[in-house]
């Protein structure tokens, strides 16, 4: 038998919570672009077959699930923190801030949060952080997919403005080609200037 992806949602429901949101982010590791978080409240009946951590899915499969999640979710919230703010407050704080923004953009408001990782979201709501939550909770897995697709689309758009960095291929992550482009062309306004691999190109 596989993992019950609804186990954490069921536990929260047994404890009296009704609007349970899964939270995850995409883009902590890249050298360029924003960090994007998503918060997702699912209905009681949702077909979760095949849904898992977005990093384990192909782009085509992520897109398919993205549309299915948007078609069926009770609510979806997005939070985006841009590179200058990441540089100002550091990537961990930026990630948590984007998560709290995503939660605040949910309507109806959640009464319980399941958060990917080890840190709580800085909000006064009952919540449970879960290591590898995107593989263990269906709500977090859906948030992972929404955050990843949303961020990838933003990076595809940035590729049109800055084709020399090939954001279309690596989405801002620190590939050898990306780091070589930074050394050749310097950095653009969506690069994270405090990150190793970017600061050398300033």
CATH number of domain containing 25: 3.30.420.10
Does an H or E element contain 69, and which?
A: helix 59-72
Q: Which residue has the higher pLDDT, 59 or 3?
A: 59
Q: Please tell me the predicted confidence (pLDDT) of residue 1.
A: 45
Indicate the number of domains in the chain.
1
SS3 81: strand
Residue 80 lies in a domain: yes
Residue 179 lies in a domain: no
| Cα separation, 30 vs 16, whole angstroms | 39
Q: Please tell me the predicted confidence (pLDDT) of residue 175.
A: 97
| Cα separation, 43 vs 118, whole angstroms | 26
Average pLDDT, the chain: 95
Q: How many CB atoms lie within 10 A of CB 202?
A: 9
Six-digit token string for 76? 């979806």
pLDDT (average), residues 152-170:
98
Residue 202 lies in a domain: no
* pLDDT tens-digit map of 102-147: 999 999 999 999 999 999 999 999 999 999 999 999 999 999 999 9
- 37 and 99 in contact (C-beta within 8 Å)? yes
Task: Inform me whether the pLDDT recorded for 2 exceeds 80.
Answer: no
**Listed residue (125, 133, 108) closest to 37, CA to CA:** 133
Q: What confidence tier does 48 reach under pLDDT thresholds 50, 70, 90?
A: confident
What domain range is 108 assigned to?
A: 7-157
- 46 and 145 in contact (C-beta within 8 Å)? no
Residue 113 lies in a domain: yes
């Amino acid at each position: 038998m596989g993992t019950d992806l609804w186990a954490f949602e069921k536990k929260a429901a047994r404890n009296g919570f009704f609007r349970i949101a899964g939270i995850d982010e995409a883009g902590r590791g890249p050298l360029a672009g924003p960090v994007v978080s998503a918060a997702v409240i699912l209905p009681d009946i949702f077909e979760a077959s095949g849904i898992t951590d977005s990093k384990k899915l192909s782009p085509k499969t992520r897109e398919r699930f993205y549309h299915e999640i948007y078609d069926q979710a009770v609510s979806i919230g997005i939070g985006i923190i841009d590179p200058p703010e990441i540089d100002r407050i550091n990537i961990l704080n930026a990630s948590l801030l984007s998560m709290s923004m995503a939660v605040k953009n949910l309507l109806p408001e959640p009464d319980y949060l399941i958060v990917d990782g080890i840190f709580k979201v800085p909000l006064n709501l009952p919540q449970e952080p879960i290591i590898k939550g995107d593989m263990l909770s269906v709500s977090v897995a859906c948030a992972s997919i929404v955050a990843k697709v949303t961020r990838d689309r933003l990076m595809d758009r940035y590729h049109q403005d800055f084709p020399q960095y090939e954001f279309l291929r690596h989405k801002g992550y620190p590939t050898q080609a990306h780091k070589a482009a930074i050394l050749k062309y310097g950095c653009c306004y969506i690069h994270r200037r405090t990150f190793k691999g970017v600061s050398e190109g300033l």
